[in-house]
Amino acid sequence: MARAIDIPDVVARARSGEPAAVARLISLVEDDSPQLPELSKAIAGFTGNAHVVGLTGAPGVGKSTSTSALVAELRRRGQRVAVLAIDPSSPFSGGALLGDRIRMSEHDTDPDVFIRSMASRGHLGGLAGAAPQALRVLDAAGCDVILVETVGVGQSEVEVASVADTTVVLLAPGMGDGIQAAKAGILEIGDVFVINKADRDGANTTRRDVRNMIGMRTADHDWTPPVVLTVATKGEGTAEVADAIAEHGDHLRTSGELTQRRVARAGREIEALALASVQRRFDQVGTGVQELAAKVEAGTLDPFAAAARLLNPSGSDS
């Protein structure tokens, strides 16, 4: 077990802009540290200022390059930026983020850019449990914009939207991408769409397809997602992406939707933490689970009855 750290001291240093202190606090989240409740309490009053922007898209659309270009643009606008890359994919993978780190290296020496990869696989509660806590740390540390990227495919691409204020969906020209996007459901969750590699054939077709699909979405708010064309490698279109993100932020604030989204997010976070705490109790009474499981395997107890006993070992009515 890691040595306990002096939370108030490290939080104060993180808030004064010390990257090493921020990194240390994120590590506590990543490691599911027993000090998390203390940390959570210490930063609760300092959060709510950062604009959390989720970046999602299939492999090959130029996610890292786009992120890097966006960071550069936001820095030109004088904003403190954090990039949080979350890897929820496989319990067996590891090191997949090295490539991203290398591509982001142009920002390495900038003290107002904080870049961090975080594994959520060991974390009870997964992405939904780990990401909000890391975001609160970066928020309390004074970041103006936090870009959240997931590495991996499938559900995680959709989950990232659940922790963001604004979700940017990256696409690239070509019908395959369009279909893949629709399949993964990411067209449903975008607040801003970016068609990167727009110097390739088919960019306008893809834009038209995306606009058509946006038109078919169940409109539950009065925001029509803009579709921006970019060539991230040359920085073309990146200012428009930054503008669109800022406009969506303004829309969320003035419409009251920001508070709504954040309350919903806090609700999911609370539930995830509560479930993780219940799960931890199960792990502590591991022999209890084992005994019940042996009975289920032998066919003398059914799984639902076993679950009820696990939750209520005394046997009284639940």
> Reduced to 3 states, what is the DSSP secondary structure of residue 150?
strand
Structure tokens at 164: 């963001």
Residue choice 9, 224, 294, 313 for contact with its own copies (CB under 8 A): 294
Residue choice 67, 79, 156, 166 for contact with its own copies (CB under 8 A): 156
Answer yes or no: are the C-beta atoms of 114 and 84 closer than 8 Å: no
How far is residue 305 CA from its own chain's centroid? 36
> Least CB distance from residue 212 to its own copies, whole Å?
17
Q: How many helices (H) and strands (E) does the chain have?
A: 13, 7
Residue 8, classified by CB atoms within 10 Å of its CB into exposed (0-12), middle (13-18) or buried (19+), is exposed
Residues between 193 and 222 that touch its own copies (CB under 8 A):
none
Tell me whether residue 156 or residue 238 sits nearer to its own copies (CB atom). Answer: 156
Using rule CB under 8 A, residue 264 touches its own copies: yes
Using rule CB under 8 A, residue 285 touches its own copies: no
Using rule CB under 8 A, residue 293 touches its own copies: yes
Q: Which stretch binds its own copies (CB under 8 A): 183-191, 218-226, 229-237, 238-246?
A: 183-191
Rounded distance between C-alpha atoms, residue 182 and residue 180, angstroms: 5
> Least CB distance from residue 39 to its own copies, whole Å?
9
Tell me the per-residue interface mask from 9 to 38 with its own copies, x by CB under 8 A, - otherwise. ---------------------------xx-
How far is residue 13 CA from its own chain's centroid? 24
* Nearest CA among 211, 163, 209 for reference residue 56: 163
Q: How far apart are the first and last CA of the chain?
A: 36
Structure tokens at 267: 């609700």
Residue choice 8, 122, 176, 185 for contact with its own copies (CB under 8 A): 185
Residue choice 45, 78, 256, 315 for contact with its own copies (CB under 8 A): 45
**Helix, strand, coil share of the chain (percent; to 5):** 55, 15, 30
Q: Which residues contact 62 (CB under 8 A, 6 or more apart)?
A: 170, 172, 196, 197, 232, 233
Tell me the per-residue interface mask from 106 to 145 with its own copies, x by CB under 8 A, - otherwise. --------------------------xx--x---------
Q: Which stretch binds its own copies (CB under 8 A): 7-15, 108-116, 224-232, 256-264?
A: 256-264
Answer yes or no: are the C-beta atoms of 184 and 58 closer than 8 Å: yes
Answer yes or no: are the C-beta atoms of 56 and 157 closer than 8 Å: yes
**Amino acid identity at 226:** P
> Least CB distance from residue 191 to its own copies, whole Å?
16
Residue choice 90, 105, 204, 224 for contact with its own copies (CB under 8 A): 90
Name the site residues for its own copies (rule: CB under 8 A).
Answer: 36-37, 40-41, 43-48, 88-93, 96, 132-133, 136, 152-156, 158, 183-185, 188, 259, 262-267, 269-271, 273-275, 277-279, 282, 289-290, 292-294, 296-308, 310-311
